[in-house]
Structure 1
Amino acid sequence: MRFCLEGLKLPEEAVLFRGTREGIHIYLNDEVEFPSVVDSLEQRLATSQNFFQGARVVINTGRRTLSADQMATVSQILNRYEGVQLVRLEQSKAAQKQSNSEMTALVVEKPVRSGQQLYHPGHIIVIGDVNPGAEIVAEGNIVIMGAL
């Protein structure tokens, strides 16, 4: 079976790469189990390391909503390659509307210190400063009311 992202027909591959003016779009097949997608992504990046040096990358997850752990996994894979910059994570508009309406918010009313990691499957609102070296990962929006 083929899968479709906003009208774009994709082959049965777990991962598809497309070059655009913005950088490289990596489409993750939402019909393939996530571990298979991760394996395919690692394999494709490893076989063409030089191609991705200095690349700006946009990840499109289709209808799949990634958990905080899954987002961290994808981010860690990309961080292994020098100069690869993750610009943003996208999903289909239908999935965004559905997932945003179901998400809860985590409100943190204190500074996030260097070395601290915040993961939440919804939105994160930080009322306080976020110091360099802190990591915040959320499936939803991240709002910081303080210095970044």
Structure 2
Amino acid sequence: MIQLKGRQAGALKCVIPADMSERQMIDGFAKLLSMGSHLFEGSEIVIDLQTRVFSPSLLSKIWKSFIEPSGCFVKEWIVADERSRVWLDRMGFRTAETDRLYAKREAAAPAQRAASETFVHAGTVRGGQKIAHDGDVIVIGNVNQGAEISASGNVTVIGRLNGLVHAGCGGDDGKTIVARSLETGQIRIGTKVGIIDKSSIFWGKSVFIKISENEVQVIPWPAL
């Protein structure tokens, strides 16, 4: 069974046994949720995969069965398999090893922060939450009404965009916004603001948004 351990550095630890089948894993998450969503709503979670081999499809199953419905935030992933750690690093997710490397890098050169690194948020950004990042931001989930995302780089939302997104918030009109489903009345890129009406042909559609000829331009993006 999935083990839920007490808070470490403010975060709950969720241990998934390596010998547990994916079906058992999903059932285990359902059992955790039945304990009461209030235990996880807004909480930081550390997910320990032990020696299990990570894959993007596994991330999707964990997200859909637990992260999204619980409303929690994954603070860190723990993996023993080196290939899995590389996968997570490439996708922009934090692991214990990644944190150690960052700490070592910052200790050696504290003034050299990698502003261009991509921040990936797996899960819903709920109303009242704010994400601000000096670089690109990818949200694998929905951005609810009342939520705000500010990025000096590009913003990609692989879900419904209901909240406020500001790409190129440092004044860079060359940045872009991509959304799987555009459902917000206002977006911002650099120094420009775009207003979208519910009657627009782009409402609820997958879109690519950029600044063209000093105007906000919305383009269909069927590949999403």
TM superposition score normalised by structure 1:
0.55
Match of 1:16 in 2: 3
Match of 2:18 in 1: 30
Paired letter, 1:49: S
In the alignment, is residue 64 of structure 1 matched against residue 52 of structure 2?
Answer: yes
Q: 1:21 Cα shift?
A: 2.1
In the alignment, is residue 41 of structure 1 matched against residue 65 of structure 2?
Answer: no
Q: Give distance in 2, aligned partners of 1:34 and 1:55.
A: 24
Match of 2:68 in 1: 79
Structure 1: 5+ residue runs without aligned partners? Answer: 1-13, 107-111, 117-128, 136-146
Is the contact between residue 79 and residue 85 of structure 2 (CA under 8 Å) also seen in structure 1? no
Number of matched pairs: 102
- Quote the RMSD (CA, aligned, Å): 3.5
Is the contact between residue 75 and residue 86 of structure 1 (CA under 8 Å) also seen in structure 2? no
Paired letter, 1:59: I
Q: Which has the higher contact order (CA 8 A, sep 6+)?
A: 1
SS state of the match for residue 80, structure 1?
A: helix
Structure 2: 5+ residue runs without aligned partners? Answer: 92-135, 141-152, 160-174, 177-224
| Structure with greater Cα Rg | 2
Residues 36, 53 of structure 1: alpha-carbon distance in 2 compared, 3 angstrom cutoff: same
Decide which of 42, 49, 52 is 1:54's aligned counterpart: 42
Residues 61, 101 of structure 1: alpha-carbon distance in 2 compared, 3 angstrom cutoff: closer
Paired letter, 1:131: V
Q: 1:58 Cα shift?
A: 1.0
Residues 64, 43 of structure 1: alpha-carbon distance in 2 compared, 3 angstrom cutoff: same
SS state of the match for residue 29, structure 1?
A: coil
The ranges of structure 1 where at least 4 consecutive aligned residues each deviate by more than 3 angstroms after the TM superposition are 98-102
Show CA shifts across 1:69-91 (max 9, x none).
11111112211123x11112211
